[in-house]
Amino acid sequence: MTRECALLLPGVCAALADPRQPGLDDTCLEKLLDWFRSLTWFDPTVELVQDNPCLPELITSVLALPEPSPSILSFTLQLAGILASSETRFQHLQEEKLLGRLFGREGPRGGAAWEEASVRSAWVKGVHSMVHHQPALHFLCTMGGMDVIFALQGDPSLFVASAASQLLVHMLTFSLESETSKPLSTKDCDWPACAQMIIKHIEESLQSSSASHIEQSLKLLTSLFGSCFGSCYAAWTEVLWLDIANQIESFLLEDTVKAQHVLANLLLNVARSPVFCGTEGSFWALVTSALEHLTPLQAGPLAVGLLKLCKCPQDVRIQALTVLLQPMDCILRAASQPLEYAGLLDESVSDPVTVESLLSSKTSCAGLLCQTLAHLEKLLSLKHLRVDLPCVSLLRSLMTILQFCNGFLSPTSPLGSTISRNLINCFRVQKSALDVLAALSEKKGCDTLIGSLFDVLLAYLQSPNTSPTVLKKTFQATSKWLVHLQELSCSNSQWQQTEKILEDVFLVLQKRLCSPCWEVRDSSLEFLTAMVKCLRDQKEFRQSLLSSEVLRLTENLLEDPESYVRASAVTAVGHLALITYCAPESPVIGNPYNKENTVAKLQEILSTDSEGFPRRAVISIFTKWLREGSGQLEDTEQFVSRVIQTVEHDLDWEVRLGGLELVEVFCSQTICQLSPCPYAPVSSAVSSPTPQNELLQVFCRAKLFGFLFRSLCDCDKPVGQRACDVLIGLRGHFYPMSTLENPQEIEDSPAGRGIAWLQRTLRQGSLAQNFPTDGGDGVDFQDPESMMLALGAIDLLELHDELNKSSNHVEESPQSLLQDILATMGTIEDNEVDCY
């Protein structure tokens, strides 16, 4: 704690304890606790209590209040807990007899204040902070604290209940790992008292007839096995598990407990714990039985979790996969004529009738499918899946689902027609299926179905019934599969199919670009950009694109009334430019779009558009062009100069930031172009200006330095930081390390005075009104010599540090917090509600 803070603290404590003061904003109290927490965290031995007697005094005076406000009481409980987290501070507070009055029987529990959820929550948090040493554990066990915690597990407030459960996990783990020296093999009287109490409580609750008690204990066990991987290595977790395994099994089989999803979570967490990584044993039998007995909806999360595990017996894995594939299998069977497709599975884990009935019911059909599809998507995203996914059948069943949803498939089987009735127009299922479809595009072996897949996708793209959100997903899936299609046609030379598909895609895209709904126009443009990014090198793609109306329509959208659409149009036009007239190959003949036109249009947007998104899009496209372009340096120089003059006055700092990025790219490219190749033979005749000078001249002509130096003083910090980075980069080029060793030398030079003044000005921060403009006595940003000196003289590294500190150090410093609390007390009226 700094001296300033230590001086402010007594005043703050006195103010907090004063009941006449109006309540403080809760965030202040929370931040104050954060500060104490960080103080004790970084230095557990810090003597806060002895050094700051105002702290125990604060606790004493709050306890003396007849009716402390819930917020100040909650604060005090948490503060005491944090202070008591070390043994010495705990003893100090004990000597003052404070802890018993807070956390013991004389404390707020049972009183009127206990009615407040915030007080109960603070009590639990306080205890949690405190339990980091044995005396605290002992204190709780003897003061009847354990029963309170047990009871709070069933608190009406979810937050309190969950915090109580977490606290028990913490206490059990802490007690077992700190109080026992020898490894515990079987549960006996060796176990520490606190651990015994908790375990007895768990066992009793599991055997009780109360469903809520059982559920609480299951949740506690779940977080015990799930949260502390470290302690799960300990043998005691295995002992504990063996003790309760039978009980868990009976819950699974008896079906009397209505907390099946908690059971599934518990089993998954136990499976993840390293103790049970062996593939033998009764545990995996229990898991298998769970996969069989839980309903497909309950077993789904368990199955997908098991498939992610590295160590899991293969037969369990296969069974888990089967659980996930069952609904997809059922869909295939329901859709097919008898014996057309064999379905996905040879045998199922649970009775297929269960899945059939779930899919037949209107209420559960979409839910089961969405969950299954989400799990499958997760599996497809895994790098190492240790079982084979039947991708072809999966794709077929996905297509079937999508066809059910848009009514394109009317199966004859009664089950099929029921499912298709349930699914028609179901956006949720459509979106989930399209997500899986997109993920499946990266898997091999689905090539035979690709034609019919595009039929389905195109049907979705064309249908007026497709909702904008579904359309967006369809676009995403389509662009992924188009990439796959291209790869495929490269290998088997079936260009015709590809051309036909692309033609259809562009036809539908033309229609969608004119949609009255901005979401659709925007998604269409995003789709177009995604396609261009992936397929720009493909001849068929370029041909289909240029023969369509898409280019013209996209340019029209640069004037869209919706700014999001304008921005996407800018991005799309920018990418299209790269394959039409910026491409190194000869531009396509008859193309009515030329570069000058486009550049002019984009520049107009940059200088006149009233909204930030399109302007930001323009500047990032310009940067992209510059990165990829091969234009002449002179053109580029003028271009960059024009752009930064526009950007400099932009009100959106992200546009200015984009401008700096453009400058950075321009600088590095120019340096590359003008610097001599280090391996080139050195010419003896030095008639032309040195590369360094030429560089400086280019930069000055492009008016880079004015922009960069002014940006250092920008009112928005990221701009200043970026400008500083660019300048540091430039200095590195113009002043190799060796020449910068003695900056004094430069300062003393005749031109140095002006530069030193600039430096002072810059150091003073964002005093932009004092900053010189060209001419007058100010710095001439276009003079190469001054700029060279400026680069050398300004301490950019120090400036960089200063800018990086961010304004947060004022806002988040404890001193500022304490000052604010002191200033606020008694001065601010009750105006918090005006926040919004």
CB of 506 to another protein, least distance (A): 23
Amino acid identity at 310: C
Cα(271)–Cα(282) distance, integer angstroms: 12
| Choice between 742 and 807, CB closer to another protein | 807
Q: Which of 192, 194, 83 is nearest to 130 (CA)?
A: 83
The DSSP code for 585 is S
CB of 353 to another protein, least distance (A): 23
446 neighbors 477 (Cβ within 8 angstroms) = no
Q: Hunting for tokens 């949609």 — which residue is that?
A: 515
| Choice between 100 and 612, CB closer to another protein | 612
817 neighbors 35 (Cβ within 8 angstroms) = yes
| Choice between 117 and 488, CB closer to another protein | 117
| Choice between 74 and 478, CB closer to another protein | 74
| Choice between 9 and 667, CB closer to another protein | 9
CB of 657 to another protein, least distance (A): 10
Task: Specify the long-range contacts of residues 124-127, CB closer than 8 Å, at least 24 apart.
Answer: 124/149, 124/152, 124/160, 124/163, 124/164, 124/167, 125/77, 125/78, 125/81, 125/163, 126/77, 126/78, 126/79, 126/80, 126/81, 126/82, 126/102, 127/81, 127/103, 127/167
419 neighbors 365 (Cβ within 8 angstroms) = yes
| Choice between 472 and 542, CB closer to another protein | 472
| Choice between 69 and 88, CB closer to another protein | 69
CB of 767 to another protein, least distance (A): 8
CB of 418 to another protein, least distance (A): 12
Q: Hunting for tokens 């969608």 — which residue is that?
A: 512
CB of 809 to another protein, least distance (A): 8
- What H or E segment, with its residue span, contains residue 17? helix 3-17
CB of 189 to another protein, least distance (A): 36
| Choice between 166 and 543, CB closer to another protein | 166
CB of 756 to another protein, least distance (A): 18
Amino acid identity at 563: S
Retrieve residue 812's tokens.
């988040």
358 neighbors 297 (Cβ within 8 angstroms) = yes
CB of 449 to another protein, least distance (A): 26
Q: Which of 373, 372, 328 is nearest to 348 (CA)?
A: 328
| Choice between 69 and 668, CB closer to another protein | 69
133 neighbors 148 (Cβ within 8 angstroms) = no
CB of 158 to another protein, least distance (A): 5
List, as one string, the DSSP characters of 319-382: HHHHHHHHHHHHHHHHHSPTTSS--S-SS-SS-HHHHHHHHHSHHHHHHHHHHHHHHHHHHHH-
586 neighbors 604 (Cβ within 8 angstroms) = no
Q: Which of 616, 575, 607, 576 is nearest to 593 (CA)?
A: 576
The DSSP code for 654 is H
Q: Which of 224, 315, 215 is nearest to 269 (CA)?
A: 224
CB of 535 to another protein, least distance (A): 22
CB of 268 to another protein, least distance (A): 13
| Choice between 537 and 812, CB closer to another protein | 812
Cα(156)–Cα(116) distance, integer angstroms: 11
168 neighbors 141 (Cβ within 8 angstroms) = no
CB of 259 to another protein, least distance (A): 12
CB of 580 to another protein, least distance (A): 25
The DSSP code for 90 is H
Instruction: Convert 341-351 to b/e letters by CB count within 10 Å (16 or more is b).
Output: eebbbeebbbe
| Choice between 69 and 497, CB closer to another protein | 69
| Choice between 25 and 57, CB closer to another protein | 25
The torsion angles phi and psi of 36, rounded to 5 degrees, stand at -65, -40
CB of 715 to another protein, least distance (A): 4
| Choice between 40 and 265, CB closer to another protein | 265
CB of 649 to another protein, least distance (A): 7
Is residue 447 classed as helix, strand or coil in its secondary structure? helix
CB of 812 to another protein, least distance (A): 7
Cα(298)–Cα(278) distance, integer angstroms: 25
Cα(830)–Cα(23) distance, integer angstroms: 9
| Choice between 118 and 237, CB closer to another protein | 118
Nearest 5°: the CA angle 770, 772, 777 is 115
| Choice between 157 and 782, CB closer to another protein | 157
CB of 33 to another protein, least distance (A): 12
Instruction: Please enumerate in sequence order all residues whose Cβ is within 8 A of that of 526, keeping only pairs 6 or more positions apart, or say none.
Output: 472, 475, 568, 572
| Choice between 163 and 696, CB closer to another protein | 163
The DSSP code for 737 is G
| Choice between 542 and 615, CB closer to another protein | 615
Q: CA-CA distances (angstroms) from residue 93 to 44, 141, 171?
A: 16, 18, 21
List, as one string, the DSSP characters of 747-774: HTSTTHHHHHHHHHHHHT-S-GGGS--S
The DSSP code for 441 is T
Q: What is the CA radius of gyration of the chain?
A: 35
CA atoms within 13 A on the CB side of 365: 25
Q: How many CB atoms lie within 10 A of CB 678?
A: 5
- Look at phi and psi of residue 495 and say left if phi exceeds 0, alpha if psi is from -120 to 50, else beta: alpha
Cα(267)–Cα(330) distance, integer angstroms: 27
Cα(314)–Cα(204) distance, integer angstroms: 36
| Choice between 691 and 826, CB closer to another protein | 826
